[in-house]
Structure 1
Amino acid sequence: MFIEQDSHRMRRFLLSGGFFIALLLLIKFNSSVVTMMDAVLQSLFTSQRLESAGLFHALMTLLSFLASPKLDLIWVFIIAVVLWIKRYQIPALWALGTIVGGDVLGELAKHIVKRARPAQHLAADDGYSFPSGHTLGIFLVAAILLLVVVPLIRRRSVRTICQLLIVFVVFFVAVSRVYLYAHWPFDTISAMLLGYAWLQVAEWLYIAWAPALKQVSFLSDSGI
């Protein structure tokens, strides 16, 4: 199977989920320490903005656009279609469930915390700030690619290059959201923690249900 049993999965879930909940509570109740750290970290990314240089600012804007929650759903839908065509129907369904489940959890967290965005944010960036939906979505897209797409690439060197590119994209999307004043730094960090915790659950569900789903007639030929 693409995803195997792992005795450390519960530990990873508890650690990432625990840190996420801790940050959620600290931000929900306006911790002065977290607020101060957010302001300091944000200044590192935005104190010398490069609009005049053009290229870096354009790259940050492009990455932010390509990682919007709506486009994240489209990317995963495309991945699912490709997997389905290649007779990996169960991984395709898992990919769709993973991104949708993550988005639902992110929206629930946003409405629990109701954190305002930085004052300088663009008008297009409406809604609540915590956690970053762009970062959460692209983190899950990256995880899906790494778990069920990249392993299908035969050449090891190409797999390695793809893995590095995927990691860099996630990092720079998170940076772009802070750089563009769309989020505070801890919004993006918390999004990755939530994404990682949810991924542990999604992986466990895959291991538990993938063999059983092969008993369904139209999924019987699916690779898992």
Structure 2
Amino acid sequence: MFIERDSHRWRRFLLSGGFFLALLLLIKYNSSVVTMMDAVLQSLFTSQRIEGLGWFHALMTLLSFLASPKLDLLWVLISAIFLWLHRCQIPALWAIGTILGGDVLGTVVKHIVKRARPAQHLPADDGYSFPSGHTLGIFLVAAIILLVVLPLVQRRAVRTICQILIVFVIFFVAISRVYLYAHWPFDTISAMLLAYAWLQVAEWLYVAWAPRLKQVPFLSSSNI
């Protein structure tokens, strides 16, 4: 199978989920330590020297646009079509369910915490700040590609290059959201923790249900 049974999965879920929950509570109840660290970290990525680099601003704006929640859904849909055409219907359905589940979870958390965005944020960045939907979405898109798309690529060198690029994309998307004043740094860190915790659940669901779904007539020929 694309995703194998792993006895350590729940440990990773508890660890990432525990850290996320701790940050959620600290931010929900306005911890002065977290607020101070957010302000210090944000200043590192929004200094006048960095903002003066035109190419860097253009790159951050582009990455932020490409990682918007609507485009995240598009990237997963394209991946799902690719998987479906390669007789991987069950992984395709799992990919769509994973991104949708993550988006719903992120939205619910936003409305629980109700953290305001940085004062300098762009008008287009409305809604609540915690966690970063862009970062959460692109993390899940990257995980889907790594887990069920790249294994279909035959050339090892291509897979390796894609894996490296994906890691850089996640990192710089998170930076772009802070740089553009759309989020505080801990919003992006928490988004990755939440995405990783949800991914452990999604992987567990795949391992548990993929073999059963093969019994459905129109999914019987799917690779899992």
TM bucket by the smaller chain? over 0.9
Instruction: Provide, for residues 147-188 of structure 1, a one-character-per-residue CA deviation record: whole Å limited to 9, x for no partner.
Output: 001111111111110100001001000000000000000000
Residue equivalent to 2:222: 222
CA-to-partner distance for each residue in 1:166-214, whole Å, 9 max, x for gaps?
A: 0100100000000000000000000000000000000000000000000
Distance across 2 between alignment mates of 1:51 and 1:33? 26
Match for residue 194 of structure 2? Answer: 194
1:104 maps to amino acid: V
CA distance, structure 2, for counterparts of residue 38 and residue 49 of structure 1? 19
Aligned-pair CA distance for 1:51: 4.5
Deviation at 1:82, TM superposition (A): 1.0
Query: If the length of structure 1 is used for normalisation, what is the TM-score?
Result: 0.98
TM-score normalised by length of structure 2: 0.98
Whole-angstrom distance in 2 between the partners of 1:161 and 1:106: 30
Using the alignment, how far apart are the partners of 1:70 and 1:219 within structure 2? 28
Name the SS for the 1:16 alignment partner: helix
- % same residue: 84
User: Measured at CA, do residues 164 and 223 of structure 1 come closer, stay the same or move farther in structure 2, by a change above 3 Å?
Assistant: same
Aligned to 2:129: 129
Q: Which residue of 1 aligns with 2:53?
A: 53
Q: Distance in 2 between matches of 1:98 and 1:199?
A: 7
Which segments of structure 1 move beyond 6 Å, counting only runs of 4 or more? none
CA RMSD of aligned residues (A): 0.8
In the alignment, which residue of structure 2 is the partner of 1:206? 206
Amino acid at match of 1:54: G
The equivalences for 1:169-180 within 5 A come to 169-180=169-180
Residues 51-60 or 121-130, more deviating = 51-60
Aligned partners of 1:139 and 1:146: how far apart in 2?
11
Cα distance in 2, alignment partners of residues 41 and 31 from structure 1: 16
- Counterparts of residues 31-180 of structure 1 (less than 5 Å): 31-48=31-48, 50-180=50-180
Cα deviation per residue 1:13-34 (whole Å; 9 max; x = unaligned)?
0000000011000000000000
2:11 maps to 11
The structural deviation recorded for 1:49 is 5.2
Please list every run of 5 or more consecutive structure 1 residues that lacks an aligned counterpart in the other structure: none
Q: Call closer, same or farther: CA 1:214–1:75 in 2, change over 3 Å.
A: same
- Which consecutive residues of structure 2, in runs of 5 or more, have no partner in the other structure? none
1:55-90: CA deviation from partner (whole Å, max 9, x where unpaired): 110000000000000110111011101111111000
Cα distance in 2, alignment partners of residues 218 and 99 from structure 1:
23
Instruction: Specify the SS of the correspondent of 2:12.
Output: helix
**1:52 CA drift (Å):** 3.9
Larger deviation, residues 92-101 vs 148-157: 148-157
Alpha-carbon offset, residue 48 of structure 1: 2.8
SS of the residue aligned with 2:48? coil
How far apart, CA to CA, are the structure 1 residues paired with 2:170 and 2:105? 19
Give the AA of the match of 1:139.
F
Find the aligned partners of 1:76 and 1:92 in 2 and give their Cα distance: 9
